[in-house]
Amino acid sequence: MTYLRLILFISIVIFLISCEKDDPTSPKDFPPVLSNLAVPDTILTGIDQSYLITVKCEDANGLDDIDTVRYKILSKAEQLIVSEIMFDDGSHGDNVPKDGKYSIRLKLDLKEESYRFVVHAVDRAKLRSNELNAEFFVKPGNFAPIITKYHIPDTVYVDEIVPFYLSVQATDPDSLDFIKEVTYQILEPSLAIAEQGQLNDQGMNGDSLADDGIYSIETTTVFASWKFGPYRLIIRAFDNHNNASESICNLPWAKVKLGVPPQIFNLVAPDTIKKPLTGVKTFLLKLTATDDDNDKDIKEVIFNSYKPGGVPAQGNPFNLYDDGDLEGNGDAIAGDNIFSRIFVITSSNTVGDYRFEFQAIDYSDLVSNIITHNLTVIQ
Ligand SMILES: [Ca+2]
Ligand SMILES: [Ca+2]
Ligand SMILES: [Ca+2]
Ligand SMILES: [Ca+2]
């Protein structure tokens, strides 16, 4: 197939060359050629939106030989609506000047029916290009609804189940349109959907008055139970054309109560370590941290380490982890309140007594008891 095409192409070229040779009056001027006309299928009016129309124009005598690219818009009854030129100078919606792509940005206020966009080009020798056409339809646009007033919580309480009340005023700018529904979605810190549903204007579930354009819902913070991090609330109002307004707010977590401090116990750590002659020696530190408010209330577990003579280690404080990363942190199971860390002694460590002080901190920044542990490094 490709081979056949190649032969056909070569024959055409030979034919054209022979024609030229045979024709003593061979033209030096070639007409411009239009291609790739792009016109939107539908143009909406009355919504302050403009539309970009582009066409490619080439000329065998070079782009400078193109004089004008002219378009006209004809009504269904072939009546001329407008006749203007298109641009390749970086203006009127044209992106790149002098690349042969001509553009015009149109904002039309025409009655609802179909129209025809017709374009042709003329070069400096007054040679006229082929003509390209595209049909498009004009219809009145429709605005998305607008949410004008908000009544939403400024935080998400994670430590107690409390009412969570949402209320917005939604209107649609189009006189013949209406609000079909108002939805909400709450994303938890992991961005998973924590809760979603509808606000109503039927005077129920927290909506105080029916049909007043104020949409409400009263739910609770049960979705947020002890999940710390930023929450995201998305409220969308849909009209009868499925146009939607969208509002997104970020809500930080908060606590109703300060609560009680965490506790730590069951420290596992070696008492004595023989220093390696070369390289490093690792050992595991782990302990259990709990909190009477909720075991998820532990924000972090840390320790400070002091070298022989009481000099604090560089890099204090160090974190212990409850992330199930056995290889990296020595933690066997994530979320079991056993916090772990792999600690390293090198051949350059000083011999003597090292002191470790462990402590947990909760999300109210309350601190636990301190467990002090001594580790003797020997030669
Ligand atoms: Ca609308
Ligand atoms: Ca209402
Ligand atoms: Ca606590
Ligand atoms: Ca663990």
Kindly report the three-state secondary structure assignment for every residue of 16-29: HHHHHHHCCCCCCC
Query: Considering the entire predicted model, what is its pTM?
Result: 0.68
**Helix, coil or strand: residue 70:** strand
Rounded to the nearest angstrom, the distance between the alpha carbon of 326 and the centre of ligand 4 is 9
pLDDT value at position 19? 46
Q: Residue 31 contacts by C-beta under 8 Å, 6 or more apart in sequence?
A: 59, 123, 127, 128, 129, 130
pLDDT of 311 over the 70 cut: yes
Q: 269: left (phi > 0), else alpha (psi -120 to 50), else beta? A: beta
User: What pLDDT is recorded for position 116?
Assistant: 97
Q: How many Å lie between the centroid of ligand 4 and the Cα of residue 306? A: 25
CA–CA separation, 192 vs 37, rounded Å?
Answer: 44
Check whether 330 has a pLDDT greater than 90: yes
Q: For residue 44, how far is its CA from the centre of ligand 1 (angstroms)?
A: 13
Of 86, 147, 154, 81, the C-alpha closest to 120 is 86
* pLDDT, tens only, 5-32: 655 555 554 544 544 444 444 568 899 9
Q: What is the pLDDT of residue 22?
A: 47
The pLDDT, as a whole number, for residue 11 is 56
Ligand at shortest distance from the CA of 204: 2
Nearest ligand to residue 286 Cα: 4
- pLDDT of 223 reads 97
Task: Determine the distance separating the centroid of ligand 1 and the alpha carbon of 178, expressed in angstroms.
Answer: 7
pLDDT at 163 over 90: yes
Task: Read off the pLDDT of each residue in 247-276 and give the average, rounded to a whole number.
Answer: 96
Return the pLDDT at 45. 87
Percent of the chain exceeding pLDDT 70 equals 93
Q: Which ligand is nearest to the CA of 144?
A: 1
* Residue 292 contacts residue 257 (beta carbons within 8 Å): no
